[in-house]
A and B are shown apart, each in its own frame.
Chain A
Amino acid sequence: MSMKRRTFLKGTVAAVGVAAAAGLLSPRAVLAAWPKAAFDAKSMADAEAAAGLGGAAHSDAIEIKAPDIAENGAVVPITVTSGIDGTTSISILASENGTPMAAQFELGEGAQGMVSVRIKMGKTSDVYGMVKAGGKVYANKKQVKVTIGGCGG
């Protein structure tokens, strides 16, 4: 009996060791997950498709807080709040940017459906907040007028 217990303990220690090693390695694995295709996409449709955000349903439960007029397109503060239960990811896209995909947030356990970030906008365009929840995609948008573009010289 006591022998079995010893074996069990040893097994547990080994398992924890493996888990720790996996934890140490995870940053590299996560970086490999950087969705290059989505960020390289030159159009909204391509970006949506590459990020698995195609066929999004409109939802007023997604609130996009952004200025109506952004004087400086280099710094446009965007806050996306998702009131949808089970939100697992929030993406922010600016439709008229050369590469529309700006940021994608994967929410871990306990994270609330709210993210705030500042993005660059080349010209006046719609800012999309796209949310993945329960295997479905929801989206809302808000137009931001840009006086001075934030891309290029």
Chain B
Amino acid sequence: MADSIKLKAKSKGGVTSVKALINHPMETGLRKDKKTGQVIPAHFIQEVACDLNGKRVMTAYWGGSVSKNPYLAFNVNGGAAGDKMTLSWTDNKGEKDSVEETVG
């Protein structure tokens, strides 16, 4: 499952910019299957955590109204080339994934 996340972290002028793309259906639980009329059960990421060198820099709580295959970007002070950036997510079904990337 580790290929569900694309993570990029780049350090420039003492600021590390983090960009991530996660493959996830992000179902709200309100949508209906057009063919069967059945409600598609909710399945969305609830929490995304990002650590820089093992230190938590950002925690995101998401609801079903975050788009499918979510994109996330933010900046952190500090961080240099070679530092370790990790990102992990957990969804409402308890599925999870994480990835570690070297800051470039």
The chain A residues found within 8 Å of chain B, CB to CB, are: 23, 27, 30-31, 33-35, 39, 74-77, 79, 94, 97-99, 101-112, 114-121, 150-153
Contact = CB atoms under 8 A, between A and B. Distances in A.
A153 B58 contact: no
Contacts of A101: 63, 65
26 contacts: A23-B54, A27-B96, A35-B61, A102-B66, A105-B61, A106-B61, A107-B58, A108-B59, A110-B57, A111-B58, A111-B76, A111-B77, A112-B74, A112-B76, A114-B75, A115-B60, A117-B66, A117-B70, A119-B66, A150-B67, A151-B28, A151-B31, A151-B65, A152-B32, A153-B31, A153-B34
Contacts, number: 124
B66 A34 contact: no
Given A110-B77, A110-B78, A119 B61 contact: no
Contact of A153 (B32, B56, B66, B78): B32
B70 to A, nearest CB: 7
Which of B15, B32, B52, B75 gathers most chain A CB within 10 Å?
B75
A50 B75 CA distance: 27
Given A110-B52, A153-B32, A117 B71 contact: yes
Nearest to A105: B60
B73 interface: yes
Given A110-B52, A153-B31, A30 B59 contact: yes
B72 interface: yes
B63 A99 contact: yes
B31 A152 contact: yes
B58 A34 contact: no
